[in-house]
Amino acid sequence: MSRLQGKYALITGGTSGIGLETARQFLKEGARVAITGRNENTLLNIGRELGDSVLLFQSDAGDMADQRALAKQIAQHWPRLDVLYVNAGDVTHRPLQGWDEAAYDRLMDINLKGPFFLIQSLLPLLANPSSVILCGSVSAHIGLPQSSAYAASKAGLLSLARTLSGELVGRGIRVNGLSPGPTETAALGKLGLPPQEEEVLRGQIKNLVPIGRLGTPLELAKAAVFLASDESSFVVGTELQVDGGVGNL
């Protein structure tokens, strides 16, 4: 399998769930892979699983200085970047009245501001051609209760897939959104809700899916491989929804 042979690929938030499975699939397809994570021990454990060839960077996706530092670190190891998968995210869900300014700003820093300045910092490294994949969410298209700040951040990120494509397409840089629907990952346990409210929300989420089940990280990772590969060279400025029909049925 060599759909990504010779490509240099960076995955943010690559230590669990969709990001980790995507790293596995990128490696299987021949890519050179780097991943980021906030926890050093978790990074080291994942590094042992993925192998010595994977670059590991401790980085906070909501810290702008870390985004600039990450770009410099990548440049010290690789001659270019062919694929950037912005996967790191804050999935906090809570009622409108439960938000304060600090929590709101933190979520927006991780989900929208950080990705914007990471792309800016990596711009000199991005090859011609290259693929930037922004992890959106079907939540940007529906009215799921308690998802207001999260959904707004993902809607902004999906807008960047269009506007940055318009700005960067002349440089051979394709930007697309990849939007998961409800997916069985550890993120479902990180919504920031009390246990009873989390269970209610889980039920609401599962009932949203027309095909009657949650997605898997592998299904999202396979879609990321497509967007990262030359097979998607005519796919620019759009959104691929891998959501079991939630956003359209």
Burial level of 189, CB count in 10 A (0-12/13-18/19+)? exposed
- What does 172-208 look like in DSSP terms, one character per residue? TEEEEEEEE-SB-SGGGG-S---HHHHHHHHHHHHHH
Q: Give CA–CA dist 130/164, Å, rounded.
A: 13
Angle CA 41–74–68, to nearest 5: 90
Token reading at 129 = 């051609």
Single out the catalytic residue among 8, 85, 104, 150. Answer: 150
Whether 8 is catalytic is no
The strand pair at 8-12 and 55-58 is best described as unpaired
Q: Side chain identity at 187, as an amino acid letter?
A: A
Contacts of 49 (CB under 8 A, 6+ apart): none
Q: How far is CA 232 from CA 113, 129, 189, in A?
A: 26, 11, 33
Name the β-bridge partners of 10.
34, 84
Stated as kind and residue range, the H or E segment containing 15 is: none
Q: Give CA–CA dist 25/83, Å, rounded.
A: 13
Q: Which residue's structure tokens are 């069985």? A: 184
Q: Side chain identity at 73, as an amino acid letter?
A: Q
Which residues belong to the active site?
Answer: 150
